[in-house]
Amino acid sequence: MRRWTATDAAGSLRAPTSHDDKYTRGVVGIRTGSPSFKGAAVLGVEAAWRAGVGMVRYVGPAGAEVLARRPETVLSEGRVNAWVIGSGTDPAHRDDAETALLREILAGTVPVVVDAGALDLVDHPAAPVVITPHAGEFGRLRSRLGMPPVDPDADLAERDDAALETAEALGAAVLLKGARTVSAAPGGFIAVVADATPWLATAGTGDVLAGAIGALAAGAQDLTSAAQWGPVAATGAWLHGRAANVAAGRHGLAGGPITALDVADALPAAVGEVIAAAPA
């Protein structure tokens, strides 16, 4: 088990140079949100911008809300280097047309971050995929796969083993969220991120995490297999946790309450720390 650090995270981040433009810095496509949960789309888009991507394309029902918050977002479809799907959606309310579009994304070659309401569609996808379940979603996923549940009181080693086992069974990387987040990928990669403030346990922060990871994947532009997702997902979780610490720390040494947008707002500071930690 490897504990992920800022130095480790530096391997998945690249500071822009004078030779870059918005396309070389990466374009992330975000297909999230629903009429009942438009805020999830706003949070994911905000996080993607704040994590340093070159362009965000948003495709979904919250276009007006997204533009009100982030007017630089592009609403037209086009080429992307990574996708984020599922945040703020419910498969029980997903129509056949949307299911077909999501399956098409998963059958492609572009890396995909799969969150929340799209987790039910992942089963040996052709695209390089990372899934981002919390404990409840992870349990339901394992049940769908015919795998035994993980007891909430299971020891850490058992939880880690289950994450890696699930990654191998799905053919997709797994970022199992929690106070101790585990990144596991087919082929044996496994790392843990466990330094975030407990104030991070609040609504919408998972949407922020998905957007941040999508930005990293788009910037990498070289994710061709699920096995390569492990370090990128771990870095996204580290940035997310560090941003939460920065946001909470603005309220004093003991920290204080934060919102999901506070976490997104602090992502540039976390990214800056990682860039500074990169070997010369």
Task: Give the pTM.
Answer: 0.97
Distance of CA 186 to the CA centre of its chain: 17
CATH of the domain at 63: 3.40.1190.20
Residue 76 pLDDT: 92
Residue 147 pLDDT: 95
Residue 152 pLDDT: 77
Distance of alpha carbon 247 from alpha carbon 193, whole angstroms: 18
Q: Are 128 and 223 in contact (CB under 8 A)?
A: yes
Residue 14 pLDDT: 87
- Residue whose entry in the numeric block shows the structure tokens 């059958």: 107
- Please, what are the averages of pLDDT over each run of 10 residues along the chain (280 residues)? 92 93 97 97 98 98 98 96 98 96 98 98 96 96 93 87 97 96 97 96 98 97 93 98 98 95 98 87
Distance of alpha carbon 16 from alpha carbon 38, whole angstroms: 31
Q: How many domains does the chain have?
A: 1
Closest CA to 177 of 113, 223, 252, 227: 113
**Residue 25: φ, ψ to 5°:** -80, -10
Question: Around 28, how many Cα atoms within 13 Å sit in the side-chain half-sphere?
Answer: 32
Distance of alpha carbon 11 from alpha carbon 239, whole angstroms: 13
Q: What is the rounded end-to-end Cα distance, in angstroms, of the chain?
A: 27
- Residue whose entry in the numeric block shows the structure tokens 């799907």: 85
Closest CA to 84 of 193, 190, 198, 216: 216
Residue 30 pLDDT: 98
The residue range of the domain holding 170 is 2-277
Residue 252 pLDDT: 93
